[in-house]
């Protein structure tokens, strides 16, 4: 089976590829790993078509207008190449509103021969919105526990990173979490990237750090090992998002044994049993009391054990088999 993916390489995409699938690469023009795939170019798609059995799109289509995406799916169908789509996001965390991503999905979901997603809740929404049955394939491991790194009892962390667009009103989130930390007898660490630390939205966070109410960690993007170690030190990790669908970050916490407080948007709680949910979404906004209580409750329990690597390996094998079955149904 010859499969070309969009994006061509990514930690998740590489992990779930079945071992007996032949990876076909679109030509790489830009050295930027985040550059759009050349497969979106109609000429490149035509040139590759005879050498591929399946096109599998995960993400990486934000730059296209819906009309461009529709023309691409029409061309793909005319070439006789089936489309597999994994719906990672039903609400794009990088967009201020949902309209553009909805328009993209309105093209891709009906055009796909097979649709996959990560949770039953997402599959139910796909069925309701498009009348399409999606195969549910859980998110595999993204990291492993780091030898020698100890959990700091009572330490709660919020990684605000570069203030992605779904991190709305971060000062309110931090204040609510801090209330829960105080109730639970813990301490709070807030991580931000260097490029946003002086943003006005973080004025309260800087002031609280100066007053000794929390620890402010300022750094660049962490590599995989640094991120695993950072999460492993936490007793509880709080996801500060008002909108989104699924989270690889949550899976990393699961891998290293860190409890998660997740928002009520999306389907985070379906990914793992050790997730406490706080009301924080586009319908209800942020309910500070709900978030404070969830943090205090998480602190009252011991951190969960790190995911068993043997079980994660078995899960990954099952995920790869599921992808192989989907590809076989598309191109028997």
On whether the CB atoms of residues 254 and 144 are closer than 8 A, the answer is: no
What's the pTM? 0.96
pLDDT of residue 28: 81
What class has domain 2-141+315-330? alpha beta
Structure tokens at 201: 């939205």
On whether the CB atoms of residues 251 and 239 are closer than 8 A, the answer is: no
On whether the CB atoms of residues 158 and 191 are closer than 8 A, the answer is: yes
Query: What's the fold here for domain 155-299?
Result: Rossmann fold (3.40.50)
pLDDT of residue 320: 98
Structure tokens at 117: 């997603």
| Tens digits of pLDDT across the chain (332 residues) | 999 999 998 999 999 999 999 999 998 877 777 789 999 999 999 999 999 999 999 999 999 999 999 999 999 999 999 999 999 999 999 999 999 999 999 999 999 999 999 999 999 999 999 999 999 999 999 999 999 999 999 999 999 999 999 999 999 999 999 999 999 999 999 999 999 999 999 999 999 999 999 999 999 999 999 999 999 999 999 999 999 999 999 999 999 999 999 999 999 999 999 999 999 999 999 999 999 999 999 999 999 999 999 999 999 999 999 999 999 999 86
pLDDT of residue 35: 87
Give me the residue spans of the domains in the chain. Answer: 2-141+315-330, 155-299
Is residue 257 left, alpha or beta, with left meaning phi > 0 and alpha meaning psi from -120 to 50? left
């Amino acid at each position: 089976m010859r499969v070309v993916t969009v994006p061509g390489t990514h930690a998740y995409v590489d992990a779930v590829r079945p071992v007996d699938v032949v990876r076909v690469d679109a030509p790489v023009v830009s050295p930027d790993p985040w550059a759009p795939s050349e497969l979106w170019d109609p000429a490149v798609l035509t040139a590759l078509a005879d050498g591929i059995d399946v096109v599998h799109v995960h993400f990486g289509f934000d730059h296209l207008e819906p009309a461009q995406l529709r023309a691409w799916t029409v061309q793909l169908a005319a070439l006789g190449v089936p489309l597999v789509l994994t719906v990672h996001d039903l609400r794009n965390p990088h967009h201020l509103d949902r309209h553009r991503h909805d328009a993209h999905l309105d093209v891709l979901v009906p055009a796909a021969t097979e649709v996959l997603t990560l949770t039953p809740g997402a599959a139910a929404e796909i069925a309701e919105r498009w009348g399409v049955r999606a195969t549910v394939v859980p998110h595999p491991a993204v990291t492993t526990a780091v030898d020698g790194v100890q959990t700091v009892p009572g330490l709660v962390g919020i990684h605000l990173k570069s203030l992605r667009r779904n991190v709305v009103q971060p000062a309110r989130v931090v204040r609510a979490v801090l209330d829960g930390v105080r109730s639970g007898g813990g301490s709070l660490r807030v991580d931000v990237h260097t490029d946003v630390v002086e943003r006005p939205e973080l004025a309260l966070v800087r002031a609280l750090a100066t007053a000794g109410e929390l620890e402010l960690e300022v750094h660049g993007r962490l590599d995989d090992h640094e991120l695993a170690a950072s999460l492993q030190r936490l007793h509880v990790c709080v996801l500060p998002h008002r909108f989104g669908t699924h989270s690889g970050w949550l899976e990393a916490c699961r891998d290293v044994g860190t409890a998660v407080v997740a928002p009520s948007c999306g389907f985070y709680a379906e990914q793992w049993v050790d997730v406490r949910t706080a009301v924080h979404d586009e319908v209800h906004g942020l309910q500070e009391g709900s978030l404070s209580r969830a943090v205090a409750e998480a602190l009252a329990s011991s951190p969960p054990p790190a995911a068993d690597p043997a079980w994660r390996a078995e899960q990954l094998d099952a995920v790869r088999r599921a992808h192989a079955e989907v590809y076989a149904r598309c191109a028997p």
